Amino acid sequence: MNTLKSIIKPFFYGALIGILGGLMGLGGAEFRLPVLTFIFDFATLHAVVINLIISWVTVISSLIFRWESWSAVEPYLPIILTLLSGSLIGASIGASLASKIDEKRLDRIVAILLGILALVMITETLIHFDPLRLNLISMTLLGFSAGIIIGLFSSMLGVAGGELIIPTIALLYGVDIKIAGTLSLMVSLPTIMVGLYRYKNRAPFTIVKPNLSLIASMAGGSVLGAWIGKSMLGLFSSGHLQLFLAFILSLSAIKLYKKGMQ
């Protein structure tokens, strides 16, 4: 039973989430958080910390899988730096806030953030947005502001933030979605690291050591699942799948909000 709980079960869920995320071009961390909270029964803040660690592993793996050459991303360095300048600040603020808020209130805040992510996913599927035509100053200010929001989401949910970063890059800067995915990972990696650093010396981080086998198993499953999901691209309609998963995410948000109100 202990083996099932600490190795097999988290590996299975990690792989399942990784496959679903891979099919949509995401890391799946937004779905991992409800699993950690409701299936593995972690307190919300502990689930966020574990989710950040697993997200860090999956982002590194995804970046390795997608990497082509430095010359392919070098022209987009100003975009990366603009978003990073905001996301690192947001991640630092988010981790500090999450560590200070009582558990019930945090449950409600996280539920609202999950609901917003579900709404973003639905909007991306149903509405086509053309890139904005803005001057350099406007793009820089909006990119910095979007980065702060992305960083807050990342550190308070334990996610890489690709579902926010990719449309931001495509909408603000008119970058191709495939390249935007790689740039997203390059923004996510330092953002996650800042979030983890801010949590490292706080009480919630104590959950890591006694759950290392679970974390390693779920991370391994997530990486394998992401690879399988990427290999299955084209077999399913990503739009329909995204709508379905947004619905599941909405239900998780409602359940977590109700938990925070008890």
User: In this prediction, what percent of the chain has a pLDDT beyond 70?
Assistant: 94
Report pLDDT for 3.
61
Domain locations in the chain as residue ranges:
2-261
Torsion angle, alpha carbons of 93, 94, 100, 102, to 10? 160
Mean pLDDT highest for which of 19-23, 66-70, 158-162?
158-162
Confidence at residue 86, expressed as pLDDT on a 0 to 100 scale: 95
The whole-number pLDDT of residue 246 equals 82
Given this model, what pLDDT does residue 180 score? 83
pLDDT tens digits, one per residue of 76-103: 999 999 999 999 999 999 999 888 888 8
Q: What is the pTM of this model?
A: 0.87
Is residue 4 predicted with pLDDT exceeding 70?
A: no
Residues 6 or more apart whose CB falls under 8 angstroms from that of 15 comprise 221, 222, 224, 225, 228
DSSP 130: P
Closest CA to 158 of 180, 188, 186: 188
3-state secondary structure of 161: coil
Pick 135 or 86 by higher pLDDT. Answer: 86
| Cα–Cα distance, 92 to 200 (Å, whole number) | 12
Q: Is the pLDDT of residue 239 over 50?
A: yes
SS3 assignment, position 152: helix
Question: Taking 70 as the threshold, does the pLDDT of residue 238 lie above it?
Answer: no
pLDDT, average across residues 207-235? 86
CB neighbour class for 75 (10 Å; exposed up to 12, middle 13-18, buried from 19): exposed
Positive or negative, the CA dihedral 82, 136, 146, 251 is negative
Lowest mean pLDDT among 70-74, 138-142, 210-214: 70-74
How far, in Å, CA of 241 to CA of 225, rounded?
16
Question: How confident is the model at residue 2, as a pLDDT?
Answer: 55
φ, ψ of residue 56 in degrees (nearest 5): -60, -45
Structure tokens at 77: 């360095």
DSSP 203: G
Gap between the Cα atoms of 205 and 198, Å rounded? 10
Burial class (CB in 10 A: 0-12, 13-18, 19+), 173: buried
pLDDT score at 259: 84
Question: In the predicted model, is pLDDT for residue 1 greater than 50?
Answer: no
Q: How far is CA 181 from the centre of its chain?
A: 13
Instruction: Please write the tens of the pLDDT for every residue from 27-63.
Output: 778 889 999 999 999 999 999 999 999 999 988 888 8
Which amino acid is located at 203 in the chain? A
d(CA 203, CA 240): 40
Question: Which two three-digit tokens encode residue 230?
Answer: 């990427």
User: How confident is the model over 162-171, as a mean pLDDT?
Assistant: 85
